[in-house]
Structure 1
Amino acid sequence: MQSVFMKARASLEAKGVFAHGAVPEAIADSWHRCLSSGLNPLGDPVNAVLSYQELRETRQRNERLIALVRPELELLSNQIAGTNYMTALADGDGVVLDAIMDSEFDASECSSSIRVGSIWREDLRGTNALGLALHTGETSMVTGGEHFFAKHGKVSCVSAPIFDSQGQIVGLLDASSEVAARQFHTQALVSLAATNIENRLFVDEHRGDHIIQFHPREEYLTTQSVGMISADDDGRITGVNRRAGEILQGLELGTVNAFADLFRGGFGAALKPMASGEVIRLVDWLNSTYFARIRMTRRHSGASGAKRAIALSVPAVFSMTNVSDAPVFRDDQVHNSLRLAVRSARLGSPFSIVGAPGTGRTTLAQTVHDELHKDRPLIVVDCRTANALGEAERLMADILGNGDSDAQTFSVRSGGTLLLEQLALIHGGAAEKLAQVTNRLLQLKNGPGWVIISTADAGAARQGDWPSHVKMAFSHLTQMAVHLPALSDRTDFAQIASFILAGISPGHRLSNTALEALKKFKRPQNLKDLTNQLRVLAVQCPVGVIREEHVERHLGQSEIDGQACSRCNGNPAREAKCQEINRVFRQCNSNVALAARKLGVSRNTVYSHIPD
């Protein structure tokens, strides 16, 4: 009798649909993603393999990772040794960098596709353990018929992600065999090996910092299940390992910057006895107790001990549920501007926020308002549209308390924040009304205070047609100015992009290479343009990790429209064909399978002409 799973498998192959409940949830979700990508379970997976030069460059970029993983790979191979097996290391993009296999597996059909340089993302190879672990960030096992492509049905594999101290997947450990029975035992070994590698990477990356090991039970301080946090000499956190995120569950690791944000008692008081070799007790802000010690390390050669605090990525992959609702102000200049703005507001001094369009002027003003008196009114006047005198008179009458009492929702007596956007653009009678109300608010001595904030474009000319009394009134509003840099000049781009994407689609994450690709785009509207680009990526990309090739494919088209790929440049006939393939590819919203069907060519042909 055919099992429920095999019936679902048969339905997938025959009809392209299946009963979701008959398949393990993670596998079912992966099958759905594969179907959405236009893959055919009875077809051929894309034989995606890097060229010799591309593989050489990829291995060079991951040279340190390969060196650290190789001993663990050999140990894992010895632990699962028998017949017909392979262990492999892939990078954070699913490219196999190193592999060890026995002679039987090497002679099998599977070995021809699972080789160094091959790419095992889901959208290319269908459901497989490497691709699934890369997508979910969790240890994954895919056996036989659980693979999307029928051609992969003979092999079973287990894969575990390797995270760095910023919560990004930097590699994947895989064990594959044509003997499915041993994979449940192998899964535990692969997970343990990945943890060992993560801890070795953590220590190697943070040799110049203080590495604090902690655990609720003292005897576990010498095991691989220990939590680790690194901090500089001032107690600023520079990294955490994945186990620390699990132990400190309930504390928002994605938003903390200092040791004191996690534990009571201060960093200096804890460091002194640990530096002497003592095991101490730490108490976190949820009153949980841990044993802790310093892990003694040998600094990298040439290390000078210079401070190098690195803000944790927001959100870290292993603490996605702890994304803060607060905007990101980790750039030094922006953080200083926020500090000065809050200080001015507390003293009742008006100030102006100066920056190019989309640099976050309104967001900064909203943050100041929330910091001081979130429960009071925030009144926003867009001076570009407030030049109609009737509209200005109605608004000012409400603020001054002279309006219709039935409709009035705030008054001068309530206190709050008055935000004047693009103050330099108001003129005529509306400017005089606005000057009248700001004078009134500035003259208040008793009762709830008002914060008056104006915004201006960087480099904008001062308004020249105001009457002298209006100029005098507005001069009080612009004497103090805080400046916001363009997005391209900010040092917290990665945190900003992750924060915005989490608000658009919590199920998506950006890889390090995707962030680097995003940085290269010109954005006249700064954060507005970035938000629009991230919305496009959230719509176009399957839920999971957004990678560099996704950014280039879905956002890079505007820069290459009308151009042929590098392989076709210089040959008029090939250029015309290449441009046609890219035109249809764009019309199909970057769906390779659909474009291939419309053009009557193979998917490989489309892949060879579109941006990498």
Structure 2
Amino acid sequence: MPLHTTAQASADHAHLLTLAHERSRRYGLALRDAPHYQRLGQGALRDALDQHRFLSRHATPVMEHLYAQIANTGSMLVLTSASGLVLHSLGDSDFLPKADQVALIPGMDWSEQAQGTNAIGTALQERQAITVQGAQHFMHANHSLACSCAPIFGPHGELMGALDVTSEHHRHHPHTLALVRMSVQMLENQMLTAQFPQAIRIHFHARPEFLGTLVEGIAIFAPDGPLLSLNRSAQFQLGLPTLPQPAPDFAALFNQPLATAWNAQTQHLMLHSGVRVGCRIHLPQRPSAPTAAAKPSATQRLSHLQYLDTGDVQLAHAIARLRKVLDKDIPVMLLGETGTGKDLLAHAWHQDSARADQPFIAVNCASIPESLIEAELFGYADGAFTGARKKGAIGKIAQAHGGTLFLDEIGDMPLPLQARLLRVLQERCITPLGSEKDIPIDIAVVCATHQDLKARIAQGLFREDLYYRLNGLVVRLPALRERSDLLAVIAKVLQVVQPEGAACQLAPDVLEKLARYPWPGNVRQLHNVLRTASVLAAEEGIVTCADLPDDFLEDYAQILADEAPAAPENKAENLGDFTLQRMAQALQAHQGNVSAAAKALGISRNTFYRKKALLPPGAV
């Protein structure tokens, strides 16, 4: 990023904070005032939650998705109303005492009038995303916090609330605000489409491969043509920061009648500015206008599973099988290496199901301490154990009632807990810790693991009866290095992770490195590499090698070293001296752990990954 651009961004941020501090003083607040932590009464809170149920319903799965990305970072997610009232919070157990201390709980007011300069109140006041760290907060009581917040705008352009991630100041991550902004963009798009179920949606972008990503434009039209609403990307592409009144119709924006595009199942449109865009048209199931004579076809219905289908035959086969069991009460098990996107596929399957408007609750069975996972899953009653919250807590399974429960890394679930889960799946009810009351539940279940569950059963680490209860449809996700659509995945991930308003491209040498890299961390690693690089390159608009993370470049240099012809004295280090049989033996000896096998053979992990494809099926 150029120095002057960095300086300008810093100056703009400082100016916003100066304005916020001035407002805080005008509100009559003082630096060392005791914080205003008076909570809204239960009745008033219930009324507020009812008033904002549309926002909360659509925000819940987005928050769960964001939480899965920042879990175990000591952070708290907070959803607020437009006035700064906390409606919902979700956070790591190690931050919960801190959250209680600073009142990041439903019913608390985090407006500037109540708390002075803070990310929630200031983002709502300025109507733009902002991070407020440490002493940038007005009140000393909040100096231990780092908060990143983005305002949420509704389908009609109205300010609806804000989404915030708060952590302790010393644990703040510089990319948190970008994640929050992406999550808000996802939420706004979902609310937009939900608000107009019988309208016509036009999804468009100048680069057709970006359809189905967060950067696609979405324009909503009435069946007879008038424009009803736009998402932020559509506003930018059409040059309409606000919806004009009277609203233009389809022909004024796309230079042809709506009926013509509809009936012809158009795949390209021309904007009024002369820019040609790729498009997809989503039609209401029961069109009422005389100009809409054609019935929508199945191929015109955009699904979240479709967004993930970027051309790889193996993945397309898995997605096709998943579609066939939608809403059939068949448990789904996703297999694949860590980072292959099992969580994304599970969420997409939920979004395409009849439960899409209900919660999607994800639980990583490997990341929760064994001492806490039972309470996390099943909840607990008041006084169930020392340190338990008053009035108890609702477990993840109960939170998923009516929706989908995603049990990630199910192979790592403690054995004693597996019996309780089996009972839940058989009887469709749960009993919280310390309670004798059974609570009926209605959930769809998706599990995921990178483990060989049959081997775990043989080792006595996984219950065979639970395995067959979960073993409905089993699909395996290919590793990223095995996929034929790597370039398409790179393009889609880049558009999802780059900062809002940015349009980064990859320099040719960067694309070459990304294409040759074996991606041991799969899509998750690609996501992190591109997210870092796009943030660093946001102002220039092109990602160069200087923007790539150092560890990635070091790994890539090792790849080149491994591929270079070995000097005679170094022949023993060349993979040519190792037979495929020895590779297979090493993998078997280390239970499929590539890193350990490569180390035992004295070669790099990346070289092992590239050569592993030569092993015959069943060698490991």
TM-score by length of 2: 0.43
TM-score by length of 1: 0.43
